[in-house]
Structure 1
Amino acid sequence: MLACSYKLESPVQSTPDKMVVKVDTIEQDDLMTNKIFKKKYYCKNNKKKKQPPFPSADIFRFSDYDYVGFDLDNTICRYKVAEIMRLEYKLIAEYLVNKYGYDTSLLLGVDDDMDFLQKGIIMDIKRGNFLKCSKDGVILRATHGTRPMTRAEIIEVYGKDKTWEPILFFKETMYDNSPECNRLLRSFKDYFDMPAAIACARAIDIDDRSPNGPPEEYDIWQDVHVALCNMYRREYYSTEQGGFFPELKENPGKYMYEASDRLKKWLMNLKEHTYTFLVSGSSIDYASHTAEFVLGEDWRDYFDTVVCTAKKPHFFTAARPFRYLNGHLDAEEVPLGDLRINGTYSGGNWAELLELVKIETGIDNPHCLYVGDHLCQDVLTPPMVGIDTIAIVEELAAEGMCGDPLEHDAGSDLMSMFWGSFFTTDGNNKVMGIDRINTLYGDIPIRSARLAIPCLEVVARNGIKFQYDGFSSESSGFYPGDPVILHF
């Protein structure tokens, strides 16, 4: 049960099936107010935090920030990626077969096609092709369905420059739903939607084998998209539908890791030093379930502010109102000026949250940081509104890092023999270091983040005042080491 500042008429008790919220008691409010006062006093009187200049681009320290935020899924909560993707594919395939009558061969296990998976693959929806692109929008490798395309086939379809106009638009914003890209392409950006690529590719293979031959245009994506969304419908957490939430509620240890004591201590040390916040796209009931498993029943104590159902990336750029929570449901809008630094809310927007931080810290231009795994929502977008970012890139551990033995438990599933390295594919082998990175998604941390790390556990090895090399013209921000492939 959460102990947060919610606007309710009376305490609400929890049940085993629903996460609901209890109003703070007077004693709890007094305790929280005392903690906030002490932190506010610290921030307002810490001249080092307020004095310019901010450290140069090639130096990074967590302790230099006035407000440090985290994503939940794949950041605070580290999933067992192989298990979660197999579950997701199973649920998508079952939905397509049972709801739309797709061929039952889709129900076959996904293991034979795991090599097809890679973060950042783009689907040409109407042609049924899957594309891996360079940071300049050039198609590096491609398949039709699951069948690899030759260089000659790529040129035949996309021209000798191996480019496609929608991708040239997409690479600027990484936004699938722009007028130039909508209904033409889909990018598979994280471990929650990557299995949908296999479902699409297999369905295209089935269409190609039909007696009538391949269609002129494929219309598979809209069905797969419905199946994908069906797993994650917000209300399904409480109604035990969709398959995904019931399975993770029943077997959390099969799909998630608990945070180490070292990481918990690091998070608490950070919160003692500065204000911290959690901004997640998940609803409060699922977020609470996840955070409690990862951090413990006291998970709420690790963050000052919590925002769920945040609708990133628009949380950072739009003006959606904050709402109070009535149990796990959204309640009335929070009036302007009524946000509390220790509150838990739904929806919202960065502009209002930033104004609150200015008031609490007494700093006109607070330095803010956000840590997340989604390279578009969490890494590319926040800098547009002045927030520094750290990219969680699990492929670092999967492919190996220079000078560090950390390995990924699902490394064999995240490394693709066909697509090649996440960071560089068919690049210039004479170039060493981060200049060799040439892939569209591999380039995002370099141009948008201060650091790129495989997981939070690696920074928990150090204190919050530890000095890292950040991305700059003079240094690499990959920590604890560059991807191995960049140096041979």
Structure 2
Amino acid sequence: MPEWSVSIECSEYHEESFTVTATMVLHTVKDEEEESLQEKVMKKKYYCKNNKKKKQPPFSDCDTFKFSDYDCIGFDLDNTICRYKVGEIMRLEYDLIANYMVNRYGYEPELLLPLDDDIDFLQKGLLLDIKRGNFLKCSPTGRILRATHGTRPMFDDDIVAVYGKERVWEPVIDFMRTLNDHPVNGKTPVLRSFKDYFDMPAAVAMARAVDAQDNTEGGPAEEYDIWPDVHVAMCNMYRREHFRKDEGGFFPEVRYHPEKYIYEASDRLKRWLKAVNEHTYTALISGSSIDYASHIARYVLGPDWREYFDIMICTAKKPGFFTMDRPFRCLVGPDDGDVVPTHKLRIDGTYSGGNWRDLQELIKQETGLDQPHCLYVGDHLAQDVLTPDKEGVDTVAIVEELAAEGMVGDRMEHDAGSDLMSTYWGSFFTTDGDKSVIGVDRINTLYGSVPLKHSRIAVPSLEVVARFPIRHQYEAFSQETSGFFPGDPVILHF
């Protein structure tokens, strides 16, 4: 004979009189265990309307931060929920780019040398002067701190000779406003940035190709036409249809050998994500296609991965997701289907494309709040941190360089720390900075300053915040406090 339990379900609610009409429902224990995602969302919706609508909890002070303050939390997937073994993933990416360039375009075979031979060249946040073949590391004011031509270091006199005594290149000033290097109005791009572990290896391929051309021609050229080939080789890896067709090299390798490239989430992180989902509405917002996103999410979180989030949005095309009005679309298998009108969006739905404004309207509808507090958590400092912050969305920055370079008061290490630390480019956070200044004020790099200006806190991974309950109070970035957690980068304090 089955066991039974009793629950009360709301069938009618009147806010003005605070009355509830209820019915008694019998469930088997098995029914409760198999409660659907939709039923969970409906319970959360009822909770929000009966609790948050009348009195929204007070928001934390500007110098403190709590995940529990938010009515909706969005998470990026790649390098946030899904933590890659970045050393292995970058080696895979470089090999695929180099082989494509040599075999398809006939570049010199020295491009096929192991990435490890130039691993010191890698750093997040480098900028490429496409025509000159120069790589630049800049300050938040646009001043060039260090530079190379190909892989060869440029001395101070070389930098001044090319970019002037102020060491400023005008396209960098334009780029700094949005960190978006895509050309507008059909103009030919002159600058390319390397913002994450999916495109950093392309910088090495470009630099080596510049070196090879210089060696062949006996010196630097006035102008290089290499980057378009590198860009095609890089994009070829990530073409959306390659996952289902087992083509392109990248997707088949990750698909059949995920343990080599991806970490499974710890049980502690899974419990933390479930606690967040039970407390507030959650969204998984990824630029990846649904088939790849589902594959890696299943590996990281398990077969029940979808239950960790209310709404799932794939192929989000950030940063445009936060700034534009692209429509949401339903999915037909792995392909985009028809446009879904805003009024038909469901908080437990799975969609492609879309935009933040429509998602926010959905959150307003579900919570009954005119101004819901929203947070986005991601690693891409342009797409996931700077852009949403400029659109009024609070952010948490995932900065793996914190673990790679070391943090004050915490022994956490990065498995690919040696791959992410460069003796030539210096620290991700400060290069040739004023050592008389202690703490975050010493940060003087363009990308190192983004979390400081555009996030509430910055952490090396979600595993760090999973050490604490969602109501834990953190110090946030402010004029008086540092939001690096669990500690400041070590280099800022010696």
Coarse TM-score class (shorter-chain normalised):
over 0.9
Three-state SS of the structure 2 residue aligned to 1:425 is coil
**Corresponding residue to 1:405 among 391, 400, 411:** 411
* Contact 1:89/1:199, CA 8 A, preserved across alignment: yes
* Deviation of 1:44 (Å): 2.4
What is the DSSP-based 3-state SS (H/G/I as helix, E as strand, rest coil) of the residue aligned with 1:199? helix
Shift of 1:213: 4.0
Percentage identity across paired residues of the two chains: 67
**Preserved CA contact (<8 Å) 2:65 2:456:** yes
- Counting only pairs closer than 5 Å after superposition, residues 410-449 of structure 1 correspond to structure 2 as 410-449=416-455
Deviation of 1:354 (Å)? 0.7
Query: Is contact 2:53–2:369 with CA below 8 Å preserved after alignment?
Result: no
Quote the residue 2:319 is aligned against. Answer: 313
Aligned mate of 1:134, from 128, 133, 139? 139
- What whole-Å deviation, never above 9, does each CA across 1:153-205 have from its counterpart, x for those lacking one? 11111111000000011111111024498511100000000000000000000
| RMSD, aligned CA | 1.7
Once residues 290 and 65 of structure 1 are traced to their aligned partners in structure 2, the CA distance between those partners, rounded to angstroms, is 27
Match of 1:468 in 2: 474
Counterpart-to-counterpart distance in 1, 2:55 and 2:193: 41
**For residues 211-230 of structure 1, what are the structure 2 equivalents within 5 Å?**
211=217, 213-230=219-236
Partners of 1:152 and 1:76 in 2: CA distance = 44
Q: Deviations over 1:326-369 (max 9, x none)?
A: 11111111123100000000001111111110010011100000
User: What is the aligned partner in structure 1 of residue 177 from structure 2?
Assistant: 172
Q: CA deviation at 1:384?
A: 2.2
- 2:91, 2:397 → 1: CA distance? 24
| Greater CA drift, 281-290 or 205-214 | 205-214
1:31-110 equivalent positions in 2, closer than 5 A:
31-47=36-52, 50-51=55-56, 53-110=58-115
Contact 2:75-2:378 within 8 A present in 1 as well: yes
2-structure distance, mates of 1:370, 1:137: 27
2 CA distance for matches of 1:88 and 1:178?
25
**1:231-268 CA deviation, whole Å, 9 max, x = no partner?**
00000001111100000011000000000000000000
Q: Is the 8 A contact 1:122 1:188 kept in 2?
A: yes
| Aligned counterparts of 2:169 and 2:255: Cα–Cα separation in 1 | 43
Q: Which amino acid aligns with 1:163?
A: V
Q: Any conservation in 2 of the 1:240–1:246 contact (CA below 8 Å)? A: yes
- Give the structure-1-normalised TM-score: 0.92
Contact 1:59–1:470 (Cα < 8 Å) also in 2:
yes
Matched with 1:147 is 152
CA contact (8 A) 1:203 1:220 kept: yes
Q: Which runs of 5+ in 1 are unaligned?
A: 1-25
Q: If the length of structure 2 is used for normalisation, what is the TM-score?
A: 0.91
CA–CA distance in structure 1, aligned partners of residues 73 and 489 of structure 2: 26
Q: Deviations over 1:251-306 (max 9, x none)?
A: 00000000000000000011001100000000000000100000001000000000
**Aligned-residue offset at 1:28:** 12
Query: Counterpart in 2 of 1:247?
Result: 253
Q: For 2:54 and 2:295, locate their aligned partners in 1 and report how far apart those are by CA, in whole Å.
A: 35
139-148 or 54-63: which moved more? 54-63
> Of the two, which has the highest radius of gyration?
2
Cα separation, 1, equivalents of 2:144 and 2:350: 44
Separation in structure 2 between the aligned mates of residue 87 and residue 139 of structure 1, nearest angstrom: 30
Separation of aligned partners in 2, 1:319 and 1:177: 18
3-state SS in 1 of match to 2:101 = helix
Match of 1:352 in 2: 358
AA at the equivalent of 1:385: E
Shift of 1:50: 4.1
